[in-house]
Amino acid sequence: MGQRSVTGGRPRDAHIDTAVLDAVSALLEEDGYRSLAIEKVARRAGVSKAAVYRRWPNRQLLVLAELERRMGGVEPPRTGCTLCDLDEALALFARTFRCMGPEFFSPLLADCSGDEELHRRFMDTLFDPPRNAVRDTLERARERGDLRDDVDLTLAVDTLASLVHYRLLFGHAPVDGRETARAVAVLLRGLARDFAALEAEAVGHSATSHG
């Protein structure tokens, strides 16, 4: 929500903030992002248009606020086992993404492109947090010495994260735990110093099947 000068005047009504975001949420579900109009949001929230504009200067930031609210915090897993952590991180990634509504992610991103500042805000809020969970996991794997020395971490993160985003955005194939686990396996075979060792360890944890 918009920062405010603290001095004087009537204080903002906090109920309005939630009422507006609730209305955004409902309208997104009902009519999708494209036909989400601030005027409708205000009407639905039983709030004046000005009250909305006072808090969020445009619909991009308004929707961003709602999706951020939905996303909640993202905590990376720390089991100590590289393969298990990665599986879990990717599953978390997918879950987070899915619960914020992948169908709003794409148009919002599209709407934020073209403006430097908006794009940055989008990335900071929705893109980086879940992605960093994956990155952290990989970094810990490297510190543990599980990865080859010449690994390009950004490339590795992208290869994993992009798969999830890709499928959810285009919807041409499903994303489930089995699929992501396989992707992790294939990739790690290319990245790991000793893939067989990692596999053995993971079987010990018996978290997921790495066949």
Partner DNA sequence: CGATAAGCGAGACGGTACGTCAAGTCTTATA
Partner DNA sequence: TATAAGACTTGACGTACCGTCTCGCTTATCG
Which residues make up the interface to DNA (CB under 7 A)?
4-5, 7-13, 16, 35, 37-40, 46-51, 53-55, 57-59
Tokens 């944890």 correspond to what residue? Answer: 205
3-class DSSP assignment, residue 49:
helix
- 52-83 in b/e burial notation, b at 16+ Cβ within 10 A? beebbeebbbbbbbbbbebbeebebbeeebbb
Nearer to DNA, 5 or 206 (CB): 5
How near is the Cβ of 126 to DNA at its closest, in Å? 20
How many residues make up the chain in this entry?
211
Binding partner of residue 39 among a copy of itself, DNA, none, CB cut-off 5 to 8 Å per kind: DNA
| Structural tokens at position 182 | 């396989």
**Closest CB 8 distance from a copy of itself, rounded Å:** 10
Classify residue 206 by its DSSP letter.
Answer: T
From the list DNA, a copy of itself, none, pick the one residue 152 interacts with, judged by a Cβ distance below 5 to 8 Å according to partner type. Answer: a copy of itself
| Residue 153 near which of a copy of itself, DNA, none (CB within 5-8 Å, type-dependent) | none
Tell me which residues touch a copy of itself (CB under 8 A).
32-34, 103, 106-111, 113-114, 119, 123, 127, 152, 154-156, 158-159, 161-163, 165-167, 169-173, 179, 182-183, 185-191
Separation between Cα atoms, residue 208 and residue 15, nearest integer Å = 44
